Amino acid sequence: MAPRNPPPDASGLVIAAQDGHRDSSMAADMTPPGHADSTRGSEQTVLDRPQEEDMEREYAGEERRYEEPHRSVGFWDPRLRRTRGEVARAWARTLLLLSVFIIGVLSLYWGVLFRVDQNMRALTVYIVDFDGQVAPYDGVAEPLVGPLVTGAARQMFESTEEPTVGFTVMPPSSFAFDPIAVRQAVYDWHAWAAVIVNPNATALLQQAVATGNASYDPTGAVQFVIQSARQESTYYNYIIPQLDILSRRFAARFGPMWSSRVVANASIPRDTLARAASAVNPGVTPFQIDLRPFNPASATPSVTIGLIYLIIVAFFSFAFFLPIHMKFITPGSHPPLRFWQLIIWRIAATMTTYLFVSLIYSFVSLAFQIPFWKGPAPTTEPAFNPSAYGRGSFPVYWMVNFVGMNALGFACENVAMVIGQPWTAAWLIFWVITNVSTSFYSIDLAPGFFRWGYAWPLHQVVEASRQILFDLHSRIGLNFGILFAWCAVNLCLFPLCCYFMRWKQERAARAAEKPADSYAVYDGGAEDGKKHVPKEKGALPPVRKRGFMRGV
């Protein structure tokens, strides 16, 4: 817009006002009071005019122009044409990146269960037939129960119509002809489950029918041995249903054959058969033995979904505490701390934070009465709610969470410092999904691609927690070793990531100072701790180096 016309020259009025002021002071005593008040008002008006003149000149000077106040415009305003293009391109680019990220990362979670039916054979189930092969029952009677159980398992394994677990027929000699050794093999994770046909299965059955033994127990012939606390979802969804199918197929073949044999044997009196009714029908009923049941139900968050919050809390500690740590190097009423000492402080403070946060997290499990105080139980006998170390189980459980939180949290700290916002949210999704998919589900059922999950930190935390809470087969040394390896690698990378983050921040600060005519440096003598050094507009300020970086 065209500049406004300058106001009329008021210098004459100013001179007249000054002369009038001197004349009025001489005649002040001769002036009536009312007239004097009106005269002072006129003089004040005249004296205010130079201030108005200065304001007008500032408002309409040669180097200043009148500008309209801010006014919003419509979306299709021509002046927004370039902005609309920039926004559209940035929106499309971000949407494409998010789409690729969703497909790539979420596919890991879906993919871990993609080939379960094809990989069910990886769930090894031993079939061990001791029937008639161990003294004093060897040679007493022709084995009947064992061959039928083995035949039914082989028929299921060889069938291509439905997926089956990995039924594996093992010779009794592999276990020194000891059924208890088979239970130990299941406890030691050599197999997910076992089907044991006891040495006296056929002999006791035939003896009960012949003598009319009313105390005969049909569940003593065949045993299904499992330990659901190892991975309850795998047992309840795949192994136990397969064992139920095996039991039904065995009963379908054994029942009619055994009944026909008993009825055809005319040498057995009817009253004898009546006394041994359970030996006639059903004759044999497989008995399930769960060495370590998954109990109580409140333990579920401690070994599954609750551990997700361990990752999230470790991740958000970076956002909570970083502004606090940065006060050491923010210029103000104090000189900035040496950067390498800030790094040491951050490591110590972060570890201390994880120590107390992991303790509070562990207290939640204790508060809901997960029995940490019970001691270990015999490995080959069923036990309810045992713990691996008795009253020492809780401190060990706390240390597992603490070391696991360090392994998970320092990785989040390093990545957050490198990629920055807003991509840290994407990293959190990736970190949670990769850890959950390889920890809450059996890797034996996953495609071979997921074998890297055995080295992931949350897998170690879950496995060690289950071992402590349920007195499972211990690999806690391996679990701690892998977690310490994660901590060591992350701690080695931590200083490098800190320096990288500082370089990014200083680069952004220099870019922000480029349009200005000065840049700020620390000055302990200044009131606000900053000294403004002049520079040319549009030129980047020099790189401010400190510490041992001055020599670079």
Across the range 108-114, mean pLDDT stands at 92
pLDDT tens sequence across 386-396: 999 999 999 99
Coil/strand/helix, residue 174: helix
Q: What is the pLDDT at residue 546? A: 57
Q: What is the pLDDT at residue 181? A: 96
Coil/strand/helix, residue 294: coil
Coil/strand/helix, residue 435: helix
Specify the higher pLDDT residue, 453 or 140. Answer: 453
Question: Could you tell me which residues come within 8 angstroms of residue 89 by beta carbon, excluding any fewer than 6 positions away?
Answer: none
Which of 44-58, 153-167, 254-268, 419-433 comes out lowest in average pLDDT? 44-58
CA distance 83 to 78: 10
pLDDT tens sequence across 50-89: 555 555 455 444 444 555 566 888 889 898 999 999 999 9
Residue 185 pairs in a beta bridge with none
Of 441, 447, 485, 484, give the one whose Cα is nearest residue 459: 441
Structure tokens at 84: 């609309």
Across the range 216-234, mean pLDDT stands at 94
472 and 264 in contact (C-beta within 8 Å)? no
By the 10 Å C-beta count (0-12 exposed, 13-18 middle, 19+ buried), 481 is classed as exposed
pLDDT, averaged across the chain: 84
pLDDT band, very low/low/confident/very high, at 110 (cuts 50, 70, 90) = very high
Q: What is the pLDDT at residue 28? A: 43
pLDDT band, very low/low/confident/very high, at 524 (cuts 50, 70, 90) = low
Q: What is the pLDDT at residue 44? A: 46
Across the range 256-277, mean pLDDT stands at 83
pLDDT value at 161 more than 70? yes
Across the range 163-173, mean pLDDT stands at 94
**What percentage of the chain carries pLDDT values higher than 90?**
55
Q: What is the pLDDT at residue 327? A: 83
335 and 524 in contact (C-beta within 8 Å)? yes
pLDDT tens sequence across 86-109: 999 999 999 999 999 999 999 999
Largest pairwise CA distance in the chain: 158
Q: What is the pLDDT at residue 3? A: 46
Which of 211-225, 494-508, 514-528 comes out lowest in average pLDDT? 514-528
Of 118, 197, 204, 217, give the one whose Cα is nearest residue 153: 197
pLDDT band, very low/low/confident/very high, at 527 (cuts 50, 70, 90) = low
Question: Could you tell me which residues come within 8 angstroms of residue 404 by beta carbon, excluding any fewer than 6 positions away?
Answer: 310, 358, 457, 458, 460, 461, 483
CA distance 94 to 327: 33
128 φ/ψ angles, rounded to the nearest 5 degrees: -120, 115
445 and 429 in contact (C-beta within 8 Å)? no
Q: What is the pLDDT at residue 264? A: 81
21 and 43 in contact (C-beta within 8 Å)? yes
532 φ/ψ angles, rounded to the nearest 5 degrees: -95, 120
CA distance 502 to 418: 10
pLDDT tens sequence across 359-376: 999 999 999 989 898 899
Coil/strand/helix, residue 128: strand
pLDDT value at 179 more than 80? yes
DSSP letter at 341? H
Angle, to 10 degrees, between the axis of helix 306-325 and the axis of helix 393-419?
60
pLDDT value at 129 more than 70? yes
259 and 198 in contact (C-beta within 8 Å)? no
pLDDT value at 12 more than 50? no
Residue 530 pairs in a beta bridge with 522
Across the range 402-429, mean pLDDT stands at 92
pLDDT band, very low/low/confident/very high, at 49 (cuts 50, 70, 90) = low
pLDDT value at 349 more than 90? yes
284 and 222 in contact (C-beta within 8 Å)? yes
Q: What is the pLDDT at residue 321? A: 86
Q: What is the sign, positive or negative, of the torsion defined by CA atoms of 225, 307, 297, 391?
A: positive
Q: What is the pLDDT at residue 54? A: 53
The 10 Å Cβ neighbour count of residue 537 is: 9
175 and 182 in contact (C-beta within 8 Å)? yes
Q: What is the pLDDT at residue 33? A: 47
Question: Could you tell me which residues come within 8 angstroms of residue 324 by beta carbon, excluding any fewer than 6 positions away?
Answer: none
Q: What is the pLDDT at residue 517? A: 74
Angle, to 10 degrees, between the axis of helix 145-158 and the axis of helix 201-211?
130
Q: What is the pLDDT at residue 10? A: 46
Angle, to 10 degrees, between the axis of helix 145-158 and the axis of helix 240-264?
140
Q: What is the pLDDT at residue 331? A: 64
The 10 Å Cβ neighbour count of residue 140 is: 15
Specify the higher pLDDT residue, 404 or 537. Answer: 404
Strands 193-197, 166-170: pairing kind? unpaired
CA 152 and chain centroid, separation: 43
Of 458, 442, 466, give the one whose Cα is nearest residue 295: 466
pLDDT tens sequence across 446-504: 999 999 999 999 999 999 999 999 999 999 999 999 999 999 999 999 999 999 988 88
Of 360, 480, 486, give the one whose Cα is nearest residue 414: 486
